[in-house]
Amino acid sequence: QVQLVESGGGLVQAGGSLRLSCAASGRTFSSYTMGWFRQTPEQEREFVAAINWSGGSSFYGDSVKGRFTISRDNAKNTLYLQMNSLKPEDTAVYYCAAKHKVYYSGDYSEKGYAYWGQGTQVTVSS
């Protein structure tokens, strides 16, 4: 099993920045593609970003492309999401998730993500 714990959420004004972290433990971190998803009570869970096992390839949802950057530090077993130019519509609970690298890292769906964190709240005020 893989245990994932998100941190770094909070309240920020529109145009501001936050950096989310996801600490992984339990199994070899570098064996997994890692992704960020977000969800509000009104919307279904939305793909935000993903990064392959080595960090060499990354993918972004259209709503965040150009503003968010996903990265990973395999030596520290940690995933990051740098969020810049935040908008009120970015308000959501953000989840990190892991799927084994045998699955395609560029698939934006939840399919294959077997492990999920508990989420961290991001609130962007206008």
pLDDT, residue 67, reads 98
Pairing of strands 120-125, 10-13: parallel
Q: Can you give the pLDDT at residue 66?
A: 97
β-strands 58-60, 46-51: how paired?
antiparallel
User: Tokens standing for 7?
Assistant: 């941190």
Minimal CA–CA distance to 38: which of 14, 1, 77, 6?
6
Distance CA 14, CA 40 (A): 18
Q: What is the pLDDT of residue 26?
A: 82
Look at residue 68 and give its three-state secondary structure. strand
How many C-alpha atoms does 109 have within 13 Å on its Cβ side? 4
Per-residue model confidence (pLDDT) at position 55: 92
Three-state secondary structure call for residue 29: helix
In the prediction, which pLDDT does 105 show? 84
pLDDT at 21: 98
Along the chain (126 residues), what's the average pLDDT of each consecutive run of 10 residues? 94 98 89 96 94 94 97 95 98 96 88 95 97
Contact 92, 10 (CB under 8 A): no
